[in-house]
């Protein structure tokens, strides 16, 4: 662990963001991804000896079932990429009415873990005018999260 900073990543996918964070020195306390094919990719990279993947604690679970208190006492960062389909230009544009909108779960993780920082990425479509109210709502939810532990 280069910088002594720990993270938990939600919606890990095949591990692209996790690899970048690991390369910058972050230590993953847990990675959560429910898609079995994405998990298989991470396991394959580990079996091939990829040095950044070594020792990753992958939880093949749905974030809605995770009890964060069981994963770590303290993390410095929560990261991830919530599903983009509710906001994608190619999707049905249903935002919070789409059951795949998991931004509320990202907010729950930040509220429960109280990290010093968080990073969530999504598609450009989230910034469209039709989603402006919801986007501002998401930002307000993060702003009302308690500050991280010192």
Phi and psi for 10 in degrees, rounded to 5?
A: -100, 155
Q: Cα separation of 19 and 15, whole Å?
A: 6
Examine the pLDDT at 4 and tell me if it is beyond 80: no
**Contact between residue 18 and residue 57 where contact means Cβ atoms under 8 Å apart:** no
Would you call 84 a catalytic residue per the annotation?
Answer: yes
Is the pLDDT higher at 40 or at 72?
Answer: 40
Kindly state the average pLDDT of the residues 106-132.
92
pLDDT at 1: 42
From 1-5, 28-32, 65-69, 120-124, the region with the lowest mean pLDDT: 1-5
Domain boundaries, the chain: 6-143
For 27, the token pair is: 């230590």
Class of domain 6-143: alpha beta
CA triple 72-75-78, angle to 5 deg: 110
pLDDT band at 144 (very low <50, low <70, confident <90, very high): confident
The angle that helices 103-113 and 132-143 make with each other, rounded to 10 degrees, is 10
What's the pTM? 0.89
Catalytic residue among 39, 84, 117, 145: 84
Q: What is the mean pLDDT of residues 97-108?
A: 91
Whole-number average pLDDT of the chain: 91
Task: Check pLDDT > 80 for residue 3.
Answer: no
d(CA 28, CA 20): 11
């Amino acid at each position: 662990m280069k910088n002594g900073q720990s993270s938990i990543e939600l919606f890990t996918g095949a591990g692209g963001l996790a690899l970048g964070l690991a390369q910058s020195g972050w230590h993953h306390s847990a990675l959560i991804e429910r898609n079995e094919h994405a998990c298989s990719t991470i396991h394959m990279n580990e079996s091939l000896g990829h040095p950044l993947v070594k020792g990753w604690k992958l939880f093949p679970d749905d974030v809605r079932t995770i009890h964060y208190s069981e994963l770590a006492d303290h993390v410095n960062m929560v990261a991830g990429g919530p599903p983009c389909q509710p906001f994608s230009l190619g999707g049905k544009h249903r935002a919070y009415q789409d059951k795949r909108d998991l931004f509320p779960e990202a907010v729950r993780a930040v509220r429960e873990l109280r990290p010093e920082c968080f990073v969530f990425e999504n598609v450009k479509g989230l910034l469209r005018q039709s989603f402006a109210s919801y986007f501002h709502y998401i930002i307000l939810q993060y702003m009302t999260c308690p500050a991280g532990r010192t």
